[in-house]
A and B are shown apart, each in its own frame.
Chain A
Amino acid sequence: MVKKNQLSTLNNKPLSLPSSKDIYREVLPNGITVLARSNFNSPSISISGYLAAGSIYESDEKLGLADFVSSALMRGTEKHTFDDIFNELESVGASLGLDSNVHTISFGGRSLVEDLPLVLNLLSEVLRTPTFPKREIEKMRAQLLTGLAVRAQDTSDMASLIFDQILFDGHPYSRPGDGFPETIQAITRKDLIDYHRLYIGPKGMVIIIVGGIEPKKAVAEVESALGEWQVKGQKEAPALPPHKPLKKTVKRHYKIAGKSQSDLVAGTVGPRRTDPEFFAASLGNSVLGQFGMMGRIGDVVREKSGLAYYAYSSMSAGIGPGTWEVSAGVNPKNVNMALDLIVKELKRFVKNGVTADELADSQANYIGRLPLSLESNGGVASALLNIERYDLGLDYYLRYADMVRAVTRDDVVETAMKYIDPEKLAVATAGP
């Protein structure tokens, strides 16, 4: 008989969690924060980070501007054309890309260790000296508009968009980051240039480097590429206005003819990432619509009723108010039946919370899955990014298991009651 615990050879050597012992953090004189951690098992590097230049700055008339800028940065610089930039990257199997959300423009890339300077120098160039060539801008515009035409036919994308519009009516979070056809048409080359000049700068920039390199050397590489970058008059982000909570359930349907499946999103506002009840909400959400085959929601909508291929709940917790929502893809004739089942589960969740076993299962899952989420350079880079973005502390992962275990059933039910009122939901559907 082979004892099962003999199978692991690292049994007595637990996963080395990122901590202040091995994360090197330095703030450069121009305001860029660098975090680095080495992984000498890997011949490659993962880079990620963000700039404080998200879509919160753009006007309603020019929605999609931050998104447009983030892609246009790679379309040509004072020294290199679009094709040159990608030729350098692709020739060595490296990658670099930028994307936008409400608060930040994020970037990410990877390369073999020896090509890190190449990627950092290109990042520096596209951030500091983009030229926004006219022809490239028009090519991109056609691509963005086609993307929006495809989005308008996508039941899942449209249900999410309508959900945000209902939930955050009048608030910046109600606006789709990729804009609308008329706002993309309205954006001029000058808008892109102005946006870059006013908002993109080293202040508030964070860059994470993880892989086969000494942390101090990684910081030196960042300093060499970006240390001299200065932007005079870089604007600070406007304060986030408060949002108006819903007074009753609001339902809205977006019609897309000729589709065989509808998508449904129902939910409410959730906590911020830095709110003290974040873990209680997150663990509660795990029981509600994640754990195992998508928690209780998956069980009633998919397993017991066979109504949907996917049905789950999710929480998105960031800098401002988050969302807490249930999503499902169902046959158009079953939308109401699925919604009834979902609302019934929400009521049960708010009234009774979770059982001791359910909570213990999700707690075990949160702690047990750490090694998997931290096995790759990319996984560690996301962890470090979270630490910096939400000021969690370099030893966050050392405290993580205790924070998860500290959540009680009372915490979960109180948090559920605080955020979820089954009579005041935003309900969006898209389909025929």
Chain B
Amino acid sequence: MISKHTETVLKNGMKVLLKEIHTAPLISSWIWYRVGSRDEPTGKTGISHWTEHMQFKGTPQFPGTVLDKAISREGGRWNASTSHDSTKYYITLPADKIDLGLRLEADRMVNSIFDEKEVASERTVIISEREGNENEPLFRLSEAIQQTAFRVHPYHHEIIGDMADLRTMTREDLYNHYRAYYVPNNAVMSIAGDFDTSSMLARIRELYEPLPAGKAPVRLARPEPEQKGEVRLSMEGPGETTYVQVVYRFPSATHPDYFPLAVLDSLLAGASGLSYKTSRLYRALIDNEYAVDMSGWSEPTIDPYLYRITITLHPKREAEEVLAILDSEIQKIQEKLVSKNEIVRAIKQARAVFAYSSENITNQAFWMGYSEIFASYEWFLNYLDNLAKVTPKDVQRVAREYFKPQSRVIGTYVPING
């Protein structure tokens, strides 16, 4: 029911990945622009995310009020999101209705209006979105840590942007951003579902090939200098609960160490998408009543980014005690080889999670485009095989190399009513 995918580059430089899946009468279409918070200079932070919002405000052919109704009427689902490295839009529709999605996406690649009034009302919507985020202690802590971990590289600011910039950016700023980055040669399209590849490709050529290529977008190139020594910070806020977040520096997704680090993450904090109650940190921190919750999280990125361990403290514990336990767990992996069985288990977990997610056509199209942004679809297709190659020695080596106190940032959220 699932065929091999095909990859095509259109004459204007747009890359198209197609994968037939004939299990349900659905098609999911994604378009990815290679632009995100990594492309934003100071003064324009949050511009990629705001531009994403403006893409729902309409074109002359599909006015904003018509757009979402047209999709919803067909029973479709659509949305968008902005990350460090990309801005993406998806539409999943009953298979016989996908043409609407294809036309709409081609149209708003070039014809969005960015009406002055719409910009003004979206400004307050996004400010409200940020105020909602600021209600959350962990948003504020993560933001402070990220700013500390990246002084030079534009990964330093939150995707939503700083309040100062949200108040001052203009319609012209947003429109220029749109024109500079929303060009076919900066876009990747990924479509999965119930279609015939040759007719789908013909339709895509018909709709997208006439769109002219633009100039290659200018990129910021500001690599983060090496961190020399642990940095600690603390912040205060309302509440009774103390949170500690520790970040280590992880390499980019295409680095060969990414896979042993993925295994290490799974051993420390559990497999992504499953419960984590037998992970090493759960046993050490939660079973032993130092914490009431914890998580480990990393994301594949173009440039080196972070691995974040977030710990919700047990009310009777202090941050220092908890950090000592965390350090001793990391030390164990650095000093003693993990068993082969532990790695085999991590791979079985990853295989199960892959099986669950393959039921969902939207998800299949997502991974095809997402992996293309930071590596290539081959990265995703070979993911399990690359995990299977990881040895206990690899895990030990990366634990020693990447989990050094000298290159980490530790942040504590101190509750003022605690």
Contact = CB atoms under 8 A, between A and B. Distances in A.
Interface string A75-104: 000000011001101111111010000000
Contact of A371 (B94, B129, B239, B316): B94
| Most-contacted residue by chain A among B94, B98, B126, B287 (CB, 10 A) | B94
A309 B128 contact: yes
Interface string B333-362: 000000000000100111111011011110
B159 to A, nearest CB: 14
B27 A8 contact: yes
Given A90-B349, A261-B134, A372-B94, 6 more contacts: A4-B98, A8-B25, A41-B359, A86-B277, A90-B345, A149-B240
Nearest to A96: B275
B356 A110 contact: yes
A273 B250 CA distance: 50
B131 A90 contact: no
A307 B125 CA distance: 6
A399 interface: no
Interface in A247-292: 256-261, 291-292
B222 interface: no
Contacts of B315: 142, 145-146, 149
Contacts of B26: 371-372, 375
A426 interface: no
Interface in A325-362: 329-331, 361
A10 B75 contact: no
Contacts of A292: 68-69, 71-72
A20 interface: no
B165 to A, nearest CB: 17
Contacts of B27: 7-8
A308 B128 contact: yes
B98 A7 contact: yes
Given A149-B240, A292-B72, A10 B95 contact: yes
A112 interface: yes
Contact of B99 (A4, A143, A366): A4
A195 B124 CA distance: 50
Given A7-B200, A86-B278, A306 B123 contact: yes
Interface in A378-411: 378
Contacts of B121: 303-306
B125 A291 contact: no
B274 A95 contact: yes
A342 to B, nearest CB: 15
Given A90-B277, A93-B352, A371 B75 contact: yes
Contacts of B277: 82-83, 86, 90
A8 B126 contact: no
A90 B274 contact: yes
A185 to B, nearest CB: 13
B356 A1 contact: no
A149 B135 contact: no
Interface stretch (A11-19, A54-62, A215-223, A237-245): A11-19
Interface string A128-151: 000000000001001101110110
29 contacts: A5-B96, A6-B196, A7-B195, A8-B95, A8-B98, A10-B22, A86-B278, A90-B271, A90-B345, A92-B352, A110-B356, A142-B292, A146-B314, A150-B312, A153-B240, A303-B121, A306-B121, A306-B123, A306-B124, A309-B128, A364-B74, A365-B75, A368-B74, A368-B75, A371-B24, A371-B26, A372-B76, A372-B94, A374-B24
A367 interface: yes
Contacts of B69: 291-292, 361
A86 B26 CA distance: 36
Nearest to A293: B68
B302 to A, nearest CB: 28
Given A7-B96, A368-B73, A153 B239 contact: yes
B203 A7 contact: yes
Contacts of A83: 277-278, 283, 287
A312 to B, nearest CB: 13
Contacts of A14: 25
B99 to A, nearest CB: 3
Interface residues of B, number: 85
Nearest to A286: B72
A149 B278 CA distance: 26
Contact of A11 (B95, B127, B128, B276): B95
B25 A91 contact: no
| Most-contacted residue by chain B among A97, A149, A374 (CB, 10 A) | A149
B166 to A, nearest CB: 12
B348 A94 contact: no
A309 B129 contact: yes
Contacts of B76: 368-369, 372
Given A306-B120, A361-B69, A368-B74, A330 B128 contact: yes
Contacts of A147: 292
A4 B127 CA distance: 40
Contacts of A260: 131-132, 134-135
A329 B135 CA distance: 11
B275 A291 contact: no
Contacts of A143: 292-293
A188 interface: no
B75 A146 contact: no
Contacts of A97: 275
A316 interface: no
Nearest to B163: A260
Contacts of A313: none
Given A142-B289, A260-B131, A364-B73, A111 B348 contact: no
Contacts of A142: 289, 292, 314-316
A110 B356 CA distance: 8
B24 A257 contact: no
A43 interface: yes
Contact of B135 (A42, A261, A307): A261
Contacts of A87: 278
Given A139-B289, A260-B135, A365-B75, A93 B314 contact: no
Nearest to A110: B356
B241 interface: yes
Interface in B106-124: 120-124
A8 B195 contact: yes
Given A364-B73, A364-B74, A44 B131 contact: no
A361 B278 contact: no
A372 B77 contact: yes
A362 B28 CA distance: 21
B23 interface: yes
A310 B126 CA distance: 10
A377 interface: yes
